[in-house]
Amino acid sequence: MLPVVVVHGGAGHIPKERSEKSTEGVCSAVRAGYVVLKRGGSSMDAVVEAVTHLENNPAFNAGCGSVLNVKGEVEMDAIVMEGKTLGSGAVSAVRNIANPIQLTRLVMDKTSHACLTAEGASQFARSMGVPEVPMESLITEYARMRWRKNLVPDANPVECQMGKMGTVGAVAVDSEGNVACATSTGGMLNKMEGRVGDTPCIGSGGYADNQSGAVSTTGHGEAIMKVTLARLILFHMEQGQSAEAASDLGLAYMKSRVSALGGVVTVDPQGQWAARFSSHQMSWAAAQKDTLHYGLYVGEHFTQGIDEPLLQGI
Ligand code: GLY
């Protein structure tokens, strides 16, 4: 199989002035994940590294840069899953954590549970020595501005859609053929306090199984949960569809059945990969065989060599 890591920075409508940052962000995150794979790290190490980069980048709706709930606060959801054991870890409605994705890995590795929520997740984070950060450090001016705009009852619907993009994620295959996924989000803009989306729900925000592949999803959480999008795509792969065809089938079903758009990154255990979306845009990037692939609009697929300095010393 061919080791690969694929990331997305959220499906949706990315304003022109933010599209460059979004593309740069996914390319930088995928490089970070790829270096982990090249150094012999596992697919789980690679997806956590890539998503940590995306959470630390204020251009994305995850970690710093998360959208705000109706009270103007940050509540984040995240999941990881590994295909060898079907082990998973998730957190929902967590606050004051810079990298929820790292906390999900601790849930997977250090507890017998699949998901911890809200204050219980915070207590667990404290017990693991994960530092708490002030909520303000996760809030960008852009997120605050959009929150204010959306509080206005007659907010312009087009403006409300602009920049409405959710969720970051990654999938990977390592040199042993193990697959993994990781997904992290601030959720939906102006959501109710305590709202939990698809991201931490196994089979919706992500799924990984060495017998079929791994998927990370992005889009409207309530719709993704209705069709358990990640698991649906892997079902199609179990029926013999390629990563690309299965992704398109899953997204088409979500569109026809619940009128919702979204996006996914998908791998199979042999290293075939896909970045597919039914939304206007999705920033995505993949790294395989020392080549970087990336795009933003439907049909866009740029490639370039991964720079030597990055790979030196590996
Ligand atoms: N897919 C992100 C959310 O709805 O929370």
pLDDT number for residue 156: 55
φ, ψ for residue 120 (rounded to 5)?
-65, -40
The fold adopted by the segment(s) 4-305 is Glutamine Phosphoribosylpyrophosphate, subunit 1, domain 1 (3.60.20)
Instruction: Report pLDDT for 162.
Output: 45
pLDDT at 1: 72
Whole-number Cα distances in Å, 72 to 31, 153, 217? 33, 16, 25
Q: Which of 23, 104, 167, 217 is catalytic?
A: 167
Q: pTM here? A: 0.95
- Catalytic annotation present for 167: yes
Mean pLDDT by 10 residues, the chain (314 residues): 94 86 96 96 98 97 95 97 98 98 98 97 98 96 88 57 71 97 95 96 98 97 97 98 98 97 97 96 97 96 82 56
The rounded Å distance from CA 204 to ligand 1 centre is 10
Asked if residue 257 belongs to a known ligand binding site, the reply is: no
Residue listed under structure tokens 């990037």: 285
Cβ-proximal residues to 158 (8 Å cutoff; 6+ apart), any chain: none
C-beta atoms surrounding 195 within 10 Å = 17
Q: What pLDDT was estimated at residue 313?
A: 53
The answer to the question of whether 221 is labelled as a binding residue is yes
- Give the burial class of 146: count Cβ atoms within 10 A of its Cβ; 0-12 exposed, 13-18 middle, 19 or more buried: buried
Residue 15 is predicted with a pLDDT of: 82
Q: Best substitution site from 198, 228, 258, 278 to test ligand 1's pocket, by max atoms within 8 Å of Cβ?
A: 198
Query: Can you tell me which atom of ligand 1 is nearest the CA of 221?
Result: 4
In sequence order, which residues have a C-beta less than 8 Å from that of residue 151 and are 6 or more positions away?
70, 190
Q: How far is the CA of 168 from the centre of ligand 1 (A)?
A: 10
Query: Ligand 1 — pocket residues by CB below 6 A?
Result: 166-167, 185, 187-188, 197-199, 218-221
Distance from the alpha carbon of residue 192 to the mean position of ligand 1, in angstroms: 13
